[in-house]
C-alpha cells in the first residue's frame, strides 16, 4: 500500500519508523511483529530496512507462553481487576 503511493522517481525501501521532517528526532520502531528489529544500513550508513531474528533464544528473554497459559493469565487478570473494583 505504501509502495503504491511513492512518487515517480523515488524508490520504496521499507518502513523503519516515523520521520518528523526535522521537527524532532525520528522515532524508530522498538519492535517489529513482536520481535526486536535489526536495522540494515548501506555503505553510507543510511538505513535501508529492517529485519528480525526468528530464533527464540534471541527474543530478549521474553518467555514463550502457550495458548492454555495465556487463557489462564487472562482469567486471572480479569479476577484481579474485578476484585480491585469491588474493594474501592
Q: Which grid cell is 21?
A: 521532517
79 domain residue, yes or no: no
Would you give the DSSP letter of residue 5?
G
Rounded to 5°, the CA angle 68-73-60 comes to 90
Give the mean model confidence (pLDDT) for residues 53-62: 54
Please give the tally of structural domains in the chain. Answer: 1
42 domain residue, yes or no: yes
- Domain housing 42: 3-62
Q: Which of residues 1 and 46 earns the better pLDDT score? A: 46
* pLDDT over 50 at 40, yes or no: yes
pLDDT tier, 54 (very low <50, low <70, confident <90, very high otherwise): low
73 domain residue, yes or no: no
88 domain residue, yes or no: no
28 domain residue, yes or no: yes
pLDDT, position 58: 46
pLDDT, position 46: 81
76 domain residue, yes or no: no
| Mean pLDDT, rounded, of the chain | 78
Name the pTM for this structure. 0.41
Q: What are phi and psi of 75, to 5 degrees?
A: -65, -45
Amino acid at each position: 500500500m505504501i509502495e503504491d503511493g511513492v512518487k515517480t522517481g523515488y524508490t520504496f525501501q521499507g518502513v523503519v519508523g516515523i520521520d518528523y521532517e526535522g521537527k524532532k528526532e525520528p522515532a524508530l520502531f522498538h519492535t517489529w511483529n513482536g520481535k526486536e528489529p535489526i536495522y540494515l544500513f548501506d555503505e553510507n550508513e543510511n538505513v535501508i530496512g529492517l529485519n528480525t531474528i526468528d530464533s527464540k533464544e534471541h527474543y530478549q528473554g521474553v518467555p514463550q507462553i502457550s495458548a492454555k497459559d495465556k487463557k489462564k493469565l487472562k482469567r486471572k487478570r480479569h479476577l484481579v481487576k474485578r476484585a480491585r473494583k469491588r474493594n474501592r
